[in-house]
Amino acid sequence: MLPLDAEAIDSILLSLRLSATVTGLLILLGTPLAWWLARTRSPLKGMVEAFVVLPLFLPPTVLGFYMLLAMGPRGPIGALTKALGLQGLPFTFSGLVVTSMLYSLPFVVQPLQNAFAGIPPRMLEAAQSLRAGPWATFGRIVLPLSKRGFVTAAVTGFAHTIGEFGVVLMVGGNIPSETRLVSIEIYDYVEAFDYPKAHTLAGLMVAFAFFMLLLLYGFGVGRDGLLRRS
C-alpha cells in the first residue's frame, strides 16, 4: 500500500467533515421525527415511514438526479435559495449536506424509532403522574433508555454518509476540496488505472467499515439488528 498523497488526505478530511455534519443534523432533526413515529397513531404514520425508508429502495443515482433537479434554478429548493439571496446548492458542499441528509435519513431515524418504541409506556406514565415536564421526562427517562439507539443511529449514519458515491457524484460532481470525497477519489484512481493508490484508499474504507461494526457490537447493539423495523 502506498502512502497517501495530499489529494487523498484532502478527500478523507472532506468526507469526515461531511459525515460529521450530516450525522449531527440528522440526530438533531431526526430525534423528534423518530419520537413521533414511535408514539403516534396518526393515519399519516405509514406515509411518513414510507418516505423515511424510500432512500433504501432507490438507486443512489435516481435520488441524486431528482435532488439535482429540485436544487436547480427551476426546482423548488433552488427557487427558495434564489429568493433568499443564497448561493445555489448544486455542486457545492452545502448541496452535498442537504442531499446526504435525505440519503442517510433511514439509517438515523429507524434505530431511534426502534429505541423509542421499546420504552415501556408505564415509565412515561409514571413520569407524568409525578408532574415531570416533557423535557425532564425526555432527559431523565427517554435518553438513558434509548442510549443504544442513539449510538446505532450515530454510527450507521456516519458510516453510510462517508461511503456515498452515486448521490454525491450526481449532486456535487468532482470538485477538489469542495465535493471530491473518498469514494470519488477511488473512482478517479481506478479510471486512471492507478490501482495502487485506489487499493490504499479502498483498504482504508474496508478497515473503517469493520471498525464501525466493531464499535456497534462493542456497545451491544449489533445483535438487535441495525435497521430492524419496530
pLDDT over 50 at 31, yes or no? yes
Higher pLDDT, 100 or 227: 100
pLDDT, one tens digit per residue, over 136-155 is 777 778 888 898 899 999 99
Domain ranges of the chain: 7-224
> What is the per-residue pLDDT for 223?
44
The band of 10, judged by pLDDT with boundaries at 50, 70 and 90, is: very high
What is the rounded CA–CA span in Å between residue 175 and residue 79? Answer: 24
Angle subtended at Cα 196 by Cα 166 and Cα 209, rounded to the nearest 5 degrees: 50
What is the rounded CA–CA span in Å between residue 136 and residue 149? Answer: 19
pLDDT, one tens digit per residue, over 105-133 is 999 999 999 999 988 888 777 777 767 77
> What average pLDDT does the structure give for the chain?
87
pLDDT over 70 at 220, yes or no? no
What is the rounded CA–CA span in Å between residue 226 and residue 229? Answer: 9
The full length of the chain comes to: 230
pLDDT over 50 at 230, yes or no? no
Q: Which CATH architecture has domain 7-224?
A: Orthogonal Bundle (1.10)
Q: What is the full DSSP assignment across 140-151?
A: IIIHHHTHHHHH
pLDDT, one tens digit per residue, over 62-106 is 999 999 999 998 899 999 998 888 888 999 999 999 999 999 999
> What is the per-residue pLDDT for 6?
85
Model confidence, pTM: 0.87
As a whole-number percent, the residues of the chain with pLDDT over 90 amount to 57
What is the rounded CA–CA span in Å between residue 22 and residue 190? Answer: 27
pLDDT, one tens digit per residue, over 32-51 is 999 999 989 999 999 999 99
> What is the per-residue pLDDT for 227?
46
> What is the per-residue pLDDT for 107?
94
pLDDT over 90 at 158, yes or no? yes
